[in-house]
Amino acid sequence: MRELLRASWVIARRDFAAIIFSKAFFFFLLGPVFPLAIGVAAGSIGGQVARDIDRPRFALVMAAPDREAALSARAALAGQLGEARVPVLVATDAATPERLLDARQGTRFLGVLSGSLANPELIGTASEIERWQGPLGLLIERARDGASAAPVGLATRIVAQSSGSQQQARLMTAQVGQALLVLLTMLLAGMVLSNLVEEKTNKIIEILAAAVPIDAIFLGKLFAMLAMAMIGIACWAVLALGAITLAGNGLPALPPPATGWPLFLALGVAYFAMAYLLLGSLFLGIGAMATTVREVQTLSMPATMGQLLFFFLASFSVTRLGEPIELFAAIFPFSSPFAMLARAAQQEVIWPHLLALGWQFAWVLLLIRFGARLFRRNVLKSGGARKRGLIAGIFAKP
């Protein structure tokens, strides 16, 4: 193992120096400006879609006749104005309605409509009350159906935080974090595809393969590219911070994630590294089969499509915490970093992240072994070695 790491270090050091000290690296640093703009646009579209999907929900705590009337009024109004314009009412029994807004209860209500139709009360945060007081007042009047000539006032009670608003805010953080992670991974991991072409065109692969295990070549190249990516990210982060500082309060602040910003950022870096290594090791294995830049370009398309699929899976599951699809996204290695980062934004619990990072790294090692084995078999034509199969060969000595 020590020899493997030593050899990986030699390869990584050479690759890293070759990239960082090349003129092309400067252009690489400029590269993300354009996709970043596209990413921001895509993020806002995604946010809009998410808002449409995750409609505002209010708890309805009233006696049975009033409740039925309110639900009928809601259905009638939704029919006239459209579903999206009228908040969803969920009939609920609760002795203390404001407890329904406690995030720890696991509910996701923006507010509570309680009391009676004659004397209704809206409980929620100031911003939610401000936003929904009008539509809900209209709904109460419709439910009363002219019970008295004078309209009743909708009393309000403000609470500091509601579970729904907190959840939605964190959802936004989760989505932004996920989009950023996907963007960076797509931008950087794809570069690994062409990584071994240089060695093959320069005939250096023979020298490398005779001196160190193929696993070490793969590992070294992957970590060199990761280090290069981290330097790029650090540069872009500094630029972004500069831009934010210049913009002052002009930019909207993201709501704090469930784990808190420091841990969320640390997890973001860790999940980026894992997403990069996972996709990178897969692409390295695939790209190693290519002998020309043209072949690499041909391979890029299915690789990018694969990345998008992993992103869609993680993105789809972001509003379905704990559901089977979200669990699948968290476990499936290629979507796991994205799904887990979304979790970090929405849930405080830490240990699943440690488990996920370990799981993801195990897959990185497995993919490197598999890629190296494939490379030996298909490129170096070192096939039927002792008639071992591809899978069995993964566990053989490199």
Residue ranges that bind other proteins, judged by CB under 8 A: 6-7, 10, 13-15, 18-19, 22, 197-199, 201-213, 293, 376, 380-386, 397-398
CB of 380 to other proteins, least distance (A): 6
Residue closer to other proteins (CB basis): 363 or 375: 375
Indicate the residue among 179 and 225 with the shorter CB distance to other proteins: 225
CB closer to other proteins, 13 vs 142: 13
Q: Which residues of 282-319 are buried (b: 16+ CB within 10 A; e: fewer)?
A: bbbbbbbebeeeeebeebbeebeeebeebbebbbebbb
Report strand pairing: 111-115 vs 120-124: antiparallel
User: Token pair 């608003």 is at which residue?
Assistant: 165
The β-bridge partners of 114 are: 61, 121
Query: Given the complex with other proteins, which of 70 and 299 has the nearer CB atom?
Result: 299
- With b for 16 or more beta-carbon neighbours within 10 A and e for fewer, the 361-389 pattern comes to eebbeebbbbbbbbbbbebeeeeeeeeee
How far apart are CB 237 and other proteins at their closest, in Å?
24
Q: What are the phi and psi torsion angles at 122 (to 5°)?
A: -110, 120
* 212/226 with CB nearer other proteins: 212
Least distance in angstroms from the C-beta of 306 to other proteins: 24
Question: Encoding tokens for residue 116?
Answer: 């009676």
Task: Provide, rounded to whole angstroms, the least separation between the CB of residue 338 and other proteins.
Answer: 29
Stated as kind and residue range, the H or E segment containing 122 is: strand 120-124
Give the nearest distance from C-beta 262 to other proteins in angstroms.
35
Min separation Cβ 292 and other proteins, Å: 11
Instruction: Tell me the residue type at 180.
Output: L
The nearer residue to other proteins, 14 or 51, going by C-beta atoms, is 14
Q: Give the span between the Cα atoms of 179 and 39, in whole angstroms.
A: 7
Least distance (Å) between residue 290 CB and other proteins: 13
Q: Which is nearer to other proteins, 38 or 293 (CB)?
A: 293
- The residue count of the chain comes to 398
Residue 67: C-alpha distances to residues 115, 156, 190, 255, 312 (Å)? 10, 18, 56, 34, 39
DSSP 320: -
Q: How far is the CB of 176 from other proteins (least distance, A)?
A: 33
CB nearer other proteins, residue 20 or residue 350: 20
Helix (H) or strand (E) holding 365, with range, is helix 351-378
